Amino acid sequence: MTKLSVNINKVATLRNARGGNNPDVVKVALDCEAFGAESITVHPRPDERHIRRSDVYELRPLLKTEFNIEGYPAPEFIDLVLKVKPHQVTLVPDAPDQITSNAGWDTKANLSFLTELMDEFGHAGIRTSIFVGADREAIEYAAKAGADRVELYTEPYATMYPKNREAAIAPFVEAAKVTRSLGMGLNAGHDLSLVNLKYMHECIPWLDEVSIGHALICDALYLGLKTTIEEYKNCLR
């Protein structure tokens, strides 16, 4: 079954907007686990505008499911990941001031850099995932770099889905087949929601994990967190 990883960045954004510790990021993460999420994702950025480094250290010993840390592999990020040792690290090509991840890696141009990182994280016992578009070459070079998984950047799918869901999913199915043929695991994330997740899972049932934050937290404002997580998990059954 495909695992649901809840990205709790938006919870931290809300907390930071007012100061203090409301909502409590750690409590929300533990509640997500209790309600059925199989993984928690955080994306600490250099300016700590949502998840803080202290959150990462506090979460690690308390989580009972998987912990996924994603981000751009700047030296301070690499140091954090190696100290915390999450189950998975997901590398994204974000600029420091970027609002959200909006493109996959050019894995061919960055092959040497990514290969060194795969070796370093792999030796530390951390599963590696590289954020890529639905592009055969990008996936092939992720495999050459030694990645355990790729995470497909799914915003193009989500954008086209309301107009033509068959056309929207087609390149992702092909990308998923390439990934499987190369022996890598497969994750997906960005703009996945209750509207489009079920169809993606029906077309690519061998997805290992989907990482969802913004839409899930927005849905929770209306449905409640427990019901929302149950609804997302229903899309993956």
Q: Which residues are tagged catalytic?
A: 43, 70, 190
Burial of 47 (C-beta count, 10 Å sphere; 0-12/13-18/19+): exposed
Alpha-carbon span 57 to 133, nearest angstrom? 30
Query: In 3-state terms, what secondary structure has residue 149?
Result: strand
Q: Residue 164, Cβ neighbours under 10 Å: how many?
A: 10
Can you say how many angstroms the Cα of residue 225 is from the centroid of all Cα atoms in its chain? 19
Instruction: Give dist(CA 144, CA 162) in Å, integer.
Output: 35
Secondary structure tally for the chain: helices H, strands E? 11, 8
Q: Can you tell me the distance from the alpha carbon of 210 to that of 7, in angstroms, rounded to the nearest whole number?
A: 10
- DSSP type of residue 1: -
Q: Which SS3 state, helix, strand or coil, does residue 142 take?
A: helix
